[in-house]
Amino acid sequence: MTKHNFNAGPCILPRIAVENTAKALFDLGGGLGLMEISHRSKDFQAVMDEAVALFKELLNIPEGYQVLFLGGGASTQFCMVPFNYMQKKAAYLETGVWAKKALKEAKLFGEVEVVASSADRNFCYVPKDFTITGDADYFHITTNNTIYGSELRVDIDSPIPLIADMSSDIMSRPVDVSKYALIYGGAQKNVGPAGVTFVIVKEDSLGKVDRKIPTMLDYRTHIGEGSMFNTPPCVNIFVLKETLKWVKSLGGVSVMEEMNIKKAGLLYDAIDNSKMFVGTVDKDSRSLMNICFVMQEQFKDKEEDFMKFAQAAGMVGIKGHRSVGGYRASTYNALPIESVQALIDCMNEYESKNL
């Protein structure tokens, strides 16, 4: 049976990236495998250099920015950001669980102003009419809300340094990097496996706080050492590099965006036209990456039954996050449109049998 991988992360990867990594685990090209080769070797330096170059090319990153590959996940960035950027005050947009966690860490360093929040309606929308605090040191946003299924798909203009957690929608659309001081995220959605974190940082935005920053938490440390101050997650960076090569081979992030709009559109149309299922996010805030839906109220008693039906049909990972329930289909870059259609067919079949 064909398995359709809708997991929210770690998630589906391009098959070619997995296959090439499997080969490299045995031999990177010089007789030693990827897991055992020195990160200081010429062979791995070439991997790192290509990964950085691909990131810069695919996102059209301007001069003056550096690309880093670090450990610790996006959650470590929640404290690295205020360590490096907050002098007295920061501004945050509260759009979900991960945004809340980021601002919680920032409160350890100084005053945090929540510029706007969608908590009043359980994060089913992205606030749009807000004024960015002009006296803050930076403004932090989380562009995609994996748990609730909302997304901010525009690069906003900010009067202060703009910092974004793009863990779950990086490489899914073109980004005007010049509008940001820093972009970061865990790779385990669109660009690789769990275990490596990407950081795109504008060099001249650093060095403006008075506090002493621990060596490992100072972005300048990693810029100076080319992401190799300590041993980097070599295997994960290799997978990331192979994934970026795949994105480039298909035409880049603009093509990814076209594919993602098409995939999400198919599934949202099916949900909107269903008599059994209903979406949970305002239409103007819907994510292209994480599509959340539930049973209509009169069919709530069939939620678990549909889950079993879908699993038997090969649908993997469509159970909603434990904090919200329902269903979630993550339609990241590597998910083929055939899998989206298979889910739609599964929903339609179940509906026809149970109305």
Q: What is the pLDDT of residues 237-277, one digit of tens each?
A: 999 999 999 999 999 999 999 999 999 999 999 999 999 99
Specify whether 72 is located in the same domain as 184. Answer: yes
Instruction: Tell me what pLDDT residue 323 has.
Output: 78
Domain count, the chain: 2
Distances 270 to 42, 84, 96, 309, 336 between C-alpha atoms, Å: 51, 45, 25, 18, 17
Whose structure tokens read 């550096």? 66
pLDDT of residue 5: 98
- 196 & 87 share domain: yes
Give CA separation, 70 vs 35, 152, 206, in Å.
Answer: 17, 25, 17
Residue 71's Cβ-side half-sphere holds a number of Cα atoms within 13 Å equal to 9
The answer to pTM > 0.85 is yes
Flag whether pLDDT at 324 surpasses 90: no
Pair 205, 57 in one domain = yes
Q: Are residues 203 and 90 in the same domain?
A: yes
The tokens describing 153, both together, are 């798909």
Query: pLDDT tens, 85-108?
Result: 999 999 999 999 999 999 999 999
Which residues are catalytic, by number? 98, 165, 189
Distance, in Å, from the CA atom of 248 to the CA atom of 59, rounded to the nearest integer, reads 11
Q: What is the extent of the structural domain holding 313?
A: 252-354
Average pLDDT over residues 160-176: 98
Instruction: Tell me what pLDDT residue 38 has.
Output: 93
59 in a domain, yes or no? yes
**Residue 170 falls inside a structural domain:** yes
Looking up tokens 């559109």 gives 265
134 burial via Cβ count (<10 Å: 0-12, 13-18, 19+): exposed
Interatomic CA distance for residues 88 and 236, integer angstroms: 36
pLDDT, tens digit, 9 for 90 and up, residues 185-206: 999 999 999 999 999 999 999 9
Phi-psi region of 201 (alpha: psi -120 to 50; beta: other; left: phi over 0): beta
Whether the per-residue pLDDT at 235 is higher than 90: the answer is yes
Identify whether residues 309 and 266 lie together within a single domain: yes
Residues 272 and 294 in one domain: yes
In this predicted structure, what is the pLDDT of residue 29? 85
pLDDT for the residue numbered 32:
93
Query: For 114-132, how does the pLDDT look when each residue is reduced to its tens digit (9 = 90+)?
Result: 999 999 999 999 999 999 9
Of the pLDDT bands very low, low, confident and very high (cuts 50, 70, 90), residue 70 is very high
Judge if 89 and 205 occupy the same domain.
yes
